[in-house]
Amino acid sequence: MTSSKSVSVETISRADALRLLPKRDETAHKWGVGGLVIIGGAPGYIGAPALAAMSAGRSGAGIVSLAVPRSSVGVTAALVPEAVFLPLPDTDSSHGVQKAIELIRPHVEKSRALVVGPGLSRDEMATMLLEALFGNAPRTAARSLGFGAQTAKVASEPEDPVIGGDTHAVVDADALHWLAERESWWAQVRPFSLILTPHVGELAALTGADSREILNDPAASASKAARDWQQTVVLKAGKAFVSDGTVVKTVAAASPALATAGSGDVLSGSIGAFLAQGLNPLDAAVLAIYAGTEAGNALADQYSTLGVVATDVPRAIAHVLAELETESAGKS
């Protein structure tokens, strides 16, 4: 147990990781292990959801469904051939967004968790999609106007939200930017349905706090945000600090090798995978932070602190989990 300037901070230990490690038996199958849906990947930003999907697979998700624009499917599939693809319409129309929701919703209902935001962008299509995912956009229905020659759009009751309801969701990157522009968004989602993974600048935008204030005491900042929003917060500030508003946990030391583009997408995918395997939000984040940090340290030994790139990390996470699995089997 260590302390920040104002809150107590628990150090994530190897014993914690061993306790939280998901177990499989001989009857395991991909949906039973845990399905995960990842939503993101605007054209030009395909790397982010691909990294999240790679990490999710290496962290044990049974099946990963990637909801990305149709134009991005081919190149993304070459990076992550194991994924199931949900090709979203390449349009910013309300009809296209409705079609996207109709495609995503059944897969979310079959899955245990989702990740939204990696590479999503901040364009009109992303804004409309997020509005619909969070249940803030009414659906439209076509109505015939005589002899089927014309149609009119009429509002219908909005459906239950895809995000912020029954299914736990990791909210990252561009989805955090969208939330930061919504007043009192936390009052519109179910408590502790979300894991938010901001870096310092994103938390500043979400809270209105000064970035220097957040850096001065990241543990307290994560705790306050989690308590105010009644959600789980993972603040990336060198080390990652996770809080549900009652406790704050982090690793003993950061891995400088993870200061590389894409490492946040890897973390989000790993958290999503552990959620999909049945861990609660706090525990999923704890295990992902531990495994990712250990992976970064191992990669630094292999490639140097300067030589690690994000695509190295998912496989290294799998090696960390393999060591934990072997150790756990030896103790049982």
Confidence of residue 143 (pLDDT cuts 50, 70, 90): very low
What pLDDT, on the 0 to 100 scale, is given for residue 222?
A: 98
Identify the CA nearest to 4 among candidates 211, 209, 206, 223: 223
What percentage of the chain exceeds 70 in pLDDT? 92
Q: Is residue 144 scored above 70 in pLDDT?
A: no
- pTM assigned to the model: 0.92
> For the chain, how long is the longest CA-to-CA vector?
73
**The pLDDT value given to residue 21:** 97
The domains located in the chain, with CATH, are 2-23+30-331 (3.40.1190.20)
pLDDT in tens, 79-115: 999 999 999 998 778 888 999 999 999 999 999 999 9
**Amino acid 146: pLDDT:** 39
Note whether 195 and 285 are within 8 A (CB).
Answer: yes
Query: Is the Cβ–Cβ distance between 194 and 231 less than 8 Å?
Result: yes
- Of the ranges 144-148, 171-175, 235-239, 311-315, which one carries the lowest mean pLDDT score? 144-148
Amino acid at 282: L
Adjacent-strand bridge partners of 86: 67
The whole-number average pLDDT for the span 40-60 is: 94
3-state secondary structure of 46: coil
- 8 A C-beta contact, residue 265 and residue 52: yes
List, for residues 156-187, the tens digit of each pLDDT value: 455 789 999 999 999 999 999 999 999 999 99
Burial class (CB in 10 A: 0-12, 13-18, 19+), 103: middle
Give the C-alpha separation, 38 to 169, whole Å: 9
Separation between Cα atoms, residue 67 and residue 172, nearest integer Å: 15
Look at residue 145 and tell me whether its pLDDT is greater than 70: no
pLDDT beyond 90 at 152: no
Per DSSP, which regions of the chain are E strands?
2-3, 8-11, 35-39, 63-69, 84-88, 113-116, 140-144, 151-155, 168-171, 194-196, 232-237, 239-243, 248-250
Q: How far is CA 90 from the centre of its chain?
A: 23
Q: What is the pLDDT of residue 332?
A: 60
